[in-house]
Amino acid sequence: MPINCKNFQILTKRLRLRCFKYDDVDTLYKWWSNPEIMKFIPEGVYSYETIAEIIPRIVKNYETVNKDNFFAFSLVIEQKENGNPIGWCGIIRMFPFPENIEIFVGLDKNFWGHSYAEEATRALLDFVFEFFGFNMITALVHPDNQPSIRILEKIGFEFVKPLEKCPEPYQNHNGYLLYSINLEHRK
């Protein structure tokens, strides 16, 4: 069952999660090229050219994504009251462990500290459980990213292990902490 992005949205008290559009490339570049925002992301900053190649894949993916045909599912986070884009979120097959489905959330630094990441994460987990039927979700977090660790633990994620000996080209994941949650038993 594909996602119909014309009508698709996930609403929370303050947020709207919506599909990416082709013209979101500049917004995504603003975030993904910022070293402060990407500080705890294993892949680091992205070039404009790379983002311009990623956006069409994200958009095209909405047409076919389902539990059996799944690589990634990404959304823009907007403030519901004004439509202001403030971040991104989604789920992806976690490499180098493709059996794991990893959740990710990132925010423009101007919106840190307002519980938007927790609100978006909870909403996305509800959708993932209902639409895809995934029960176990993982999260990867840098050990110095204490705000994200607190959010994960508050939601009910449990620490699994630090990642070690990740194969090529995923050595940049070494040292990150792996968390997981069973969506059937969450808080």
User: In this structure, is residue 165 part of a structural domain?
Assistant: no
User: In this structure, is residue 108 part of a structural domain?
Assistant: yes
Mean pLDDT across 18-42? 94
User: In this structure, is residue 133 part of a structural domain?
Assistant: yes
pLDDT of residue 98: 64
> Which tokens sit at 96?
């180098």
Model confidence at 185: pLDDT above 80: no
pLDDT tens for 60-74 read: 989 888 887 778 899
User: In this structure, is residue 48 part of a structural domain?
Assistant: yes
170 contact partners, CB below 8 Å, separation of at least 6 = 42, 95, 96
User: In this structure, is residue 26 part of a structural domain?
Assistant: yes
CATH of the domain at 119: 3.40.630.30
Model confidence at 187: pLDDT above 60: no
pLDDT of residue 97: 66
Domain boundaries, position 109: 10-137
User: In this structure, is residue 168 part of a structural domain?
Assistant: no
Contact 105, 121 (CB under 8 A): yes
Q: Which ranges of 106-180 would DSSP assign to H, the alpha helix?
A: 116-127, 146-155
DSSP letter for 178, please: E
The rounded mean pLDDT for the chain is 91
User: In this structure, is residue 156 part of a structural domain?
Assistant: no
Least confident range of 16-30, 65-79, 112-126: 65-79
User: In this structure, is residue 24 part of a structural domain?
Assistant: yes
More confident residue, 42 or 116: 116
Angle between helices 25-32 and 48-61 (to 10 degrees): 120
Model confidence at 1: pLDDT above 70: no
Distances (CA, A) of 79 to 27, 47, 71, 165, 184: 14, 26, 27, 39, 28
Say how many domains are in the chain: 1
pLDDT tens for 130-151 read: 988 888 999 999 999 999 999 9
Sheet holding 15-19, edge to edge: 10-11, 15-19, 72-79, 85-93, 101-107, 136-141, 177-182, 158-162
